[in-house]
Chain A
Amino acid sequence: MTETPHPQVAALFERFRRELRDTRPSDDLDARIARLVAEPGEFSLRRRAPLRRIRYWAAAAGFAGIAIAAGILIGRHLERTSPATRLAQQEPALPADFSLWPADSVALQIPAEYSRGGTLVAVDPHAHSTGKRYWIDVVVSNDGTVRIDRIVPAETTVKKNGVPHGITLQTP
């Protein structure tokens, strides 16, 4: 990459180099340097290396810390004064026994008969029965869920061991 310069340029370099070699500091520069040496008190000679080395890092860390603290304070202030937070604070507290799971339920028995279409449909319990009647046990919980617990034939109520005869559905 660095081949020798053009011969004519090299000759110019050589000539300028010779002239530069004759360059000497002026008396003024010598005097200024001598003054530096003689009066060092004008210039700080203290060892400031450790301070200087940590200064930039300390300043950067300080600014970062202040920025983070300010961010936290502003965030907390905004959170405290937001309408959603105010609304949440105004709402009454939930009862201590509140649970997300169903705590209470009601069981209902619905009479049903097979229709001609082969489906089980609810019927009036006082109406005359035209076919085989079933009781559908429906459980309604206070969490809003409704499930069919079992379907029991109306004629057979209790078996020997006390367990009602019928179709017991598997509940999840």
Chain B
Amino acid sequence: MNKICDDTECMARLATGDTSALRELYQRHGRALLRFSASMCGSRQAAEDLVHDTFVALLRGPHLFDPRQGTAFGYLCGVLRHRISRHFRQQKRWVELPSDEDAGVSHDPAPTDDIARSEVSAVLRRAMLELPLQHREVIALCDLEELPYHTVAAILDCPVGTVRSRLHRARALLTIRLASLEILDIDNEPPLVQLS
């Protein structure tokens, strides 16, 4: 409760021009936002850029936050989510060409990085990146950040029922993808998707 009050107070201070409140908000929520961004993006650099952009947006328009509509963390997640969405829309315009170094070299199926340090996590991350954005974000918020459904619903600006159905679908898609990558052994288990 105090944290929520502090966040609201910080936002109010920021709206009056006190930029030290931005540092407090960053220290309080920066890591969680980076985790969300990292689980949504392909690279750590892009994830950090998007978190930075989120705080720039906050600095430009702190008065856009309305404490009656949700928490400051939810607001920041919402801003970050929009930035991520825009980032992927812009990325679609570009086609990545293979560099000379990459030519003829077989890729590691799941290269580890400083976000997914184990190979298994790297595969999970890669499978997540193949999911549609709206499914990926519910996995990131509900399963990785373990936020309650109503908080996720507030961040995504949709009903709780939509969050539940998207999560169900996202988990099913992810499980099928991981099974196709032979990460899961589901031969002796009931079917993942029950056909009616």
Taking Cβ atoms with an 8 Å cutoff, the residues of A that contact B are 1-3, 5-6, 8-9, 12-13, 15-17, 19-21, 23-26, 28-29, 32-34, 36-38, 40, 43-45, 47-49, 52
Give chain A residues whose Cβ lies under 8 Å from the Cβ of B61: 48-49, 52
Determine if A20 and B59 form an interchain contact, defined as CB atoms under 8 angstroms apart. Answer: no
Determine if B30 and A19 form an interchain contact, defined as CB atoms under 8 angstroms apart. Answer: no
Q: In chain A, what residue has the closest Cβ to B22?
A: A37
Question: How far does the alpha carbon of A34 sit from the alpha carbon of B125 in the complex, in Å?
Answer: 30
Determine if B26 and A33 form an interchain contact, defined as CB atoms under 8 angstroms apart. Answer: yes
Chain A to chain B contacts (Cβ below 8 Å), 26 pairs: A2-B165, A6-B171, A9-B174, A9-B175, A9-B184, A12-B121, A13-B143, A15-B120, A16-B121, A16-B124, A16-B125, A17-B144, A19-B117, A23-B35, A25-B51, A26-B48, A28-B48, A33-B23, A36-B19, A36-B22, A36-B56, A37-B19, A37-B20, A37-B22, A40-B17, A43-B59
Determine if B144 and A32 form an interchain contact, defined as CB atoms under 8 angstroms apart. Answer: no
Per DSSP, are chain A's interface residues mostly helix, strand or loop, or mixed? Answer: helix
Closest 4 CB pairs of A and B: A16-B121, A2-B164, A29-B48, A40-B19
Question: Interface size bucket, B side?
Answer: 35 or more
Any chain A CB within 8 A of the CB of B131? no
User: Nearest-CB distance from A151 to chain B (Å)?
Assistant: 88
Question: How far does the alpha carbon of A117 sit from the alpha carbon of B174 in the complex, in Å?
Answer: 104
Question: How far does the alpha carbon of A52 sit from the alpha carbon of B56 in the complex, in Å?
Answer: 17
Any chain A CB within 8 A of the CB of B5? no
Give chain B residues whose Cβ lies under 8 Å from the Cβ of A26: 44, 48
Determine if A20 and B144 form an interchain contact, defined as CB atoms under 8 angstroms apart. Answer: yes
Determine if A12 and B120 form an interchain contact, defined as CB atoms under 8 angstroms apart. Answer: yes
